[in-house]
Chain A
Amino acid sequence: MSKWMAYLHRISGTALAVFLPVHFWALGLGLEMDGFLAWTEQPLVKFAEWGLVVLLAAHLGGGLRVLALEFLPWRDWQKGLAAAAAAVAFAAGLAFALALLGSGAFAQSWPQKPVRFIVPFPPGGATDISARLLGEKLTQIWGQTVVIENRGGAGGGVGAAEAARAAPDGYTLFFPSGSVVTANQHIYAKLNYDPEKDFVPVTNVVSGPQVLVVPAGSPYKSVKALVDAAKASPGRLTFGHAGIGSQTHLAAENFLYQAKADAVSVPYKGEGPALAGLVGGETTFALTNLAASIGHVNAGRLRALGITSRTEAPQLPGVPPIASTLPGFENAGWFGIVAPAGTPKEIIAKVYQDTKKALDTTEMKARFYAQGLAPVGNSPEEFATAMKAETALWANVVKERNIHVQ
């Protein structure tokens, strides 16, 4: 026992003697300290940290044993026990300290540079509006700019593929509408990302109803008139949306399915372009997020015929629920944050907590309310459960409506 403890003391001491010059050298290089802390999150460095803990504990335990042998009038077994207890206590203390350091270091030091929100649609849509509103507030909280990058195309697939391949360091986050991560996998035969494997849920930011809109000069002045026209001439009416598989596409398909009517789908690169097309008379109608169309409705460029919520939206008084024409009809859109798989869980937790903090402010509630959106801010676990349920739901709708892209 004594021989082995002495041997361990020698080995750990020698290893520490090798490590110390490296440690001093790294510090002496003048490594920027916060960068250094982030660096310590690397798996190899973490492994080295734990190795250092073991070495220090072993060396100190052995040293205490030596001191006990030399200075204290204890029996051998008492000295051995005391040294072992000291080593265990020291190891536990260091392990606890490093665990605290490991869990807190990255989150505390993040973000040290601008954070990128990839929005998979062009500017002007509800996804873009939601990301920009939250981004402004998070910029204040983090002291670092949140940059919104619009990457439209393929029903959100272009932006999703880019986000999926981004470094999982917390500096690139994905801000999709729900369908991009819960419906596209059922619609597209080939998808350049895997919603379940490439991303981890952070939080659902906001949700809101959609609104059935037609151009201001349209002959259709009610949901019933539009449905009757679609039924009378199947395939004559057209509807614009943000892309195949987008929330606005699925909302319209769901509406037509419930109405037992048909119309021609016209995909755009985003909700903003789809609304611009509708205002310009390129399409007959659209089922868009309230956040994106409310400005056009209030400006008189579009006419709102119905809302997808069960009750009237206070932002659009006098616009009836579509359910008053199609009993039971209800649809909602949501916009949230997911992170590339592999993003440190401490960063996921910080993004969630700070987003919740932002959403809980009166200012943000009011700003989202004005857009027809309600803050959600659920936890990553709750968000994951909700996404799973919605994925199953859309699988069924997509199958029933036979919505597929080869």
Chain B
Amino acid sequence: MSAKAQSLLWIAQRASAAVLAVCVLVHLATIIYAVQGGLSAAEILGRTRGNAAWLAFYSIFVLGVAVHAPIGLRSVFIEWLGWRGKSRDRVLLVFSVILLAMGMRAVLALFA
């Protein structure tokens, strides 16, 4: 992998980490608010469905996860398994796409 690509991965890893730190806290605060407020499933869905702000927030959250996790695993694969080359990157790309697809499926279930 070129030095430029390595740099891009490094930046993407740090940037996604910063985004996720904020998203995790907002996500937990939201869940606590919903549960402590005694909102029913119907009430929660009533607020999330059709709400573009929630769609945007959780889409960013899922996107952050789909970027951060595979890049982190890439380092783990190299250090622990000595796994290098295109096969590793392909597997991680598939993993990223799976995370993105499953995450967006969950997000869209709350939005649509």
Q: How far is the CA of A319 from the CA of B35 in the complex (A)?
A: 54
CB distance B35 to A24 under 8 Å? Answer: no
- Which partner residue on chain B sits nearest A107 by CB separation? B38
Shortest CB-to-CB span from A11 to chain B, Å, is 9
Number of A-B contacts (CB under 8 A): 72
Q: How far is the CA of A20 from the CA of B98 in the complex (A)?
A: 11
Interface residues of B in 43-93 (CB under 8 A from A): 44-45, 62, 65, 69, 72-73, 75-76, 79-80
CB distance B109 to A30 under 8 Å? Answer: yes
CB distance B99 to A24 under 8 Å? Answer: yes
Task: Give the total of A residues in contact with B, Cβ under 8 Å.
Answer: 30
Which single member of A14, A16, A97 contacts B32 (CB below 8 Å)?
A97
CB distance B38 to A108 under 8 Å? Answer: yes
Q: How far is the CA of A67 from the CA of B20 in the complex (A)?
A: 14
- Which partner residue on chain A sits nearest B68 by CB separation? A13
Instruction: Say which one of A31-39, A148-156, A287-295, A368-376 lies at the interface with B.
Output: A31-39
The reply to whether the CB of A17 lies closer than 8 angstroms to some CB of chain B is yes
The reply to whether the CB of A21 lies closer than 8 angstroms to some CB of chain B is yes
> Assuming the A-B contacts A21-B99, A25-B102, are A33 and B45 also in contact, with contact meaning beta carbons closer than 8 angstroms in the complex?
yes
Q: How far is the CA of A54 from the CA of B110 in the complex (A)?
A: 27
Q: Give A residues with C-beta under 8 Å from B.
A: 10, 13-14, 16-17, 20-21, 24-25, 27-28, 30, 32-35, 37, 56, 60, 63, 67, 70, 94, 97, 100-101, 104-105, 108-109
21 pairs, A vs B, C-beta closer than 8 Å: A10-B79, A13-B76, A14-B76, A17-B72, A17-B95, A20-B69, A21-B99, A24-B99, A24-B106, A25-B102, A28-B109, A32-B41, A33-B44, A34-B40, A35-B41, A37-B35, A70-B14, A94-B28, A108-B35, A108-B36, A108-B37
Nearest 6 CB-CB pairs, A to B?
A27-B106, A33-B41, A24-B102, A28-B105, A108-B38, A28-B106
